[in-house]
Chain A
Amino acid sequence: MMWDWTFTFEILPVLARAAIMTVQATALGFTIAATLGLVLASIRLAFPVAGVVVTVLVELIRSTPLLIQIFFLYFVLPKAGIVLDAFTAGVAAIGIHYAAYCSEVYRAGFENVPRGQWEASIALNLSPWNTFKDIILPQALPPVVPALGNYLIALFKETPLLSAIAVLELMQTAKNIGSETFRYTEPVTLVGVFFLVMSLVSAGIIRMLESWLQRR
């Protein structure tokens, strides 16, 4: 059974619609990851005691599979009375998983800001919050953009996992087409091609952003 072009063009619009869901999941997931990651890293910076809890939490999240975490939010949370629909649970799990990675990136960013900057802010009588917001963050963030970009691509490539809880993103749509028509070749390959193209394009954009930040 070889490649069938007619079939390919038939399923292309269906897959394109599913791709929108994939992109939405990526955008929402990464927003959660980038924000929550910054919060976690800031907690670690500001409150050493709470920082220990954050560290253990981050290690726990990074050492267990994302798929299990998705199941956890989707199946276990309802037992505690929190019922999330599949898309929300999936996106939340992906966001929290990558927040753990992003928090390490931010931490490295904070550690890169010279100590003298803190001391100078104290000398200028800035409050800790103002120091953090006006002095430290603007210096810590630009260097970590490339690393965050890598996690954006990694997160994007994990969205097919949402198909495990039947969210209608690309992979689930391809699976559905496959089980209806008994042809997996075209849908699964097209999903692969879509991810490859999107990954390469985003890698290019991130590289451009990186060199733009360096020139500034």
Chain B
Amino acid sequence: MWIRMLAAMLAATLVLIALLSANAEYRLFMPGLLEGAVLTVEITLLGAVLAVFMALVAALAKLYGPLPIRWLSTTYIEIFRGTSALVQLFWLYFVLPQFGVFLDAFLVAVLALGLNIGAYGAEVVRGAILSVARGQWEASIALNMSKAQMLRRIILPQAFTAMIPPWGNLFIELVKSTSLVSLITLADLTFKAQQMNQTTLKTVPVFTLVLLIYLAISLTVTIVMRLLEQRASKGLTRGRVA
């Protein structure tokens, strides 16, 4: 139901982009913007992989690690949630080289955004793990499973279903925060837009197209996550009861 509405919105956005591209003034900008969009999508995908990985590691460390590891993971989460994504991006890009660590802008972008979203994701993963009914833990103990077996076979698969919707929101945040990489000179969608705006002064077509392209990317992410949610929850009655 919701998916159909979102699909209709996506279709409308794409049709609008196509219609606008029929206009010569708009068509001029499409190749450059699409080039930028490819970089935006690349950073989003790689950032998402890093974010999910960091979130799982940090959440498990915070829940089950020995005390020092627990502190380390809490520090990571609080620092990356407490400061601004732009500050983190600038820190990795401008400050690390002064300590002798040189990373290229693309790597910095993926690292900063992945670590940032990963910190938010860690709390999502932690919440989802804690939301699995207590009886499931007790049953696994009764079956004499080791802690690792319990997590892998019983708890995580159930937590996974609960995680998908909040991850969907975080991935949208990720798509939106990729626009920040333009400020460390990566030629993403936003960077291309600014460049074209400065060289041609055709402000209205450029920024209209950029908004629509970002909208199309975000809607695609939302639709994919909703489909995933639908598949994961099929045949599963999640027990929210104690």
Question: Residue on B with the closest CB to A78?
Answer: B203
A1 at the interface (CB under 8 A from B): yes
Contacts of A174 in B (CB 8 A): 90
B210 within 8 A of A: yes
The reply to whether the CB of B177 lies closer than 8 angstroms to some CB of chain A is yes
Instruction: Name A203's closest neighbour in chain B (CB-CB).
Output: B82
**Chain B, residue nearest A60 (CB):** B215
Decide if A67 is an interface residue (CB 8 Å cutoff).
yes
Q: How many residues of B contact A (CB 8 A)?
A: 41
A68 to B88 alpha-carbon distance, docked (Å) = 20
Q: Is the CB of A199 within 8 A of B81?
A: yes
Q: Which residues in window 74-129 of B have CB below 8 A to A?
A: 78-79, 81-88, 90-91, 94-95, 98-99
Contact with B along A68-97 (1 / 0, CB 8 A): 100110011001000000000000000000
B158 at interface, CB cutoff 8 A = no
| Total count of chain A residues near the partner, CB < 8 A | 38
Check B87 against A160 for contact (C-beta < 8 Å).
yes
Binds A, one of B51-59, B139-147, B148-156, B179-187: B179-187
Take A188-B87, A199-B83 as given contacts and tell me if A68 and B210 are in contact as well, using a CB distance cutoff of 8 Å: yes
Question: Would you give the 0/1 interface string for B150-182, flagging 1 where the beta carbon is closer than 8 Å to chain A?
Answer: 000000000000000000000010011111101
Contacts A63-B218, A64-B218; is A157 near B177 (CB within 8 Å)? no
- Check A189 for interface membership: any CB of B closer than 8 A: yes
B168 CB to nearest chain A CB (Å): 12
| Interface residue? A130 (CB, 8 A) | no
Residue of B with least CB distance to A183: B98
Chain B nearest CB, measured from A142 CB (Å): 24
Say yes or no: B203 contacts A76, CB within 8 Å.
Answer: yes
Q: Could you tell me if B87 and A192 are in contact, using CB atoms closer than 8 angstroms?
A: yes
Q: Contact check, B190 vs A191: say whether CB atoms are below 8 A apart.
A: no
Shortest beta-carbon distance, B92 to chain A, in Å?
10
Q: Determine whether the beta carbon of B207 is less than 8 Å from that of A72.
A: yes
Q: How far is the CA of A2 from the CA of B79 in the complex (A)?
A: 21
Q: How far is the CA of A196 from the CA of B91 in the complex (A)?
A: 14
Asked if A62 lies at the interface with its beta carbon under 8 angstroms from chain B, I say yes
Q: Judge whether A195 and B94 touch: CB under 8 Å.
A: no
B43 within 8 A of A: no
B20 within 8 A of A: no
Task: Chain B residues near A178: list those with CB within 8 A.
Answer: 94
Chain A contacts with B in 37-86, Cβ cutoff 8 A: 59-60, 62-68, 71-72, 75-76, 79
17 residue pairs of the A-B complex, CB under 8 angstroms, read A59-B9, A65-B175, A65-B177, A66-B176, A68-B190, A71-B194, A157-B83, A157-B84, A159-B84, A184-B90, A185-B94, A185-B95, A188-B94, A191-B87, A192-B88, A195-B84, A199-B82
| 7 A-B pairs with the lowest CB-CB distances in the bound complex, closest first | A184-B94, A63-B218, A65-B179, A199-B82, A196-B82, A65-B176, A67-B179
Q: A63-B176, A65-B179, A192-B91 are in contact. List 18 more A-B contacts (CB 8 A).
A: A63-B172, A63-B215, A66-B176, A68-B179, A68-B211, A68-B214, A71-B190, A71-B193, A75-B197, A79-B203, A79-B204, A158-B84, A160-B86, A184-B94, A188-B90, A191-B87, A192-B83, A195-B83
Report which A residues bind B (CB closer than 8 A): 1-2, 59-60, 62-68, 71-72, 75-76, 79, 157-161, 163-164, 171, 174-175, 178, 183-185, 188-189, 191-192, 195-196, 199-200
